[in-house]
């Protein structure tokens, strides 16, 4: 059985974006394309309505590319348990109030028992300083936190 990944919006954004002039972002884009080409088929992917909403914003051409990449990926539900967990993540300070959609991504991934939450959002999601508090908040709500990582961390030799 394949492991399951919740794709957060930044992953598909890096896939669809024009090459960045920022060398770090460009490296992340290249790693994401490599992961997508060589590793994504090894997993069952899923997204949520918040991912679709975020991906549909901005430049229409790039948004269209993001939406085309997302079209074949199953959508998981945003339900009451996910919303309650997102509120808990915010209330306990695991994720700052200003990043409520990031708390929702984590909650949806936990609620749907995904193995991984794949993201390039290292400020509020894939952040080592937040990982323990995210895990504690999930466990206190009765859910296991998915392993939060970047595509670079989920590569194999």
CATH number at residue 13: 3.40.50.1010
Residue 60 domain boundaries: 3-154
**8-23: per-residue pLDDT in tens?**
999 999 999 999 999 9
With tokens 């009451």, the residue in question is: 80
Residues 91-139 pLDDT 10s: 999 999 999 999 999 999 999 999 999 999 999 999 999 999 999 999 9
Domains: count for the chain: 1
pTM higher than the cut 0.75 = yes
pLDDT, averaged across the chain: 96
- pLDDT tens readout for residues 65-88: 999 999 999 999 999 999 999 999
DSSP sequence for 137-152: HHHHTT-PPPEEE-GG
Cβ-based neighbour number of residue 112 at 10 Å: 19
Q: Strand locations in the chain, DSSP E?
A: 3-7, 43-48, 75-76, 116-118, 147-149
């Amino acid at each position: 059985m394949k492991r399951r990944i919740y794709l957060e919006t930044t992953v598909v954004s890096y896939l669809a974006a024009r090459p960045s002039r920022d060398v770090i972002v460009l490296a992340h884009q290249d790693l994401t394309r490599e992961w997508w080409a060589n590793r994504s088929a090894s997993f069952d992917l899923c997204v949520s309505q918040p991912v679709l909403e975020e991906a549909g914003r901005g430049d229409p051409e790039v948004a269209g590319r993001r939406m085309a990449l997302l079209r074949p990926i199953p959508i998981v539900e945003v339900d009451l348990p996910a919303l309650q967990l997102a509120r808990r993540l915010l209330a306990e300070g695991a994720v700052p109030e200003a990043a409520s959609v990031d708390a929702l991504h984590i909650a949806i991934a936990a609620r749907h028992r995904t193995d991984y939450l794949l993201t390039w959002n290292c400020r509020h999601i894939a952040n080592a300083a937040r990982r323990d508090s995210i895990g504690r908040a999930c466990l206190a709500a009765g859910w296991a936190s998915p392993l939060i990582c970047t595509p670079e961390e989920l590569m194999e030799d």
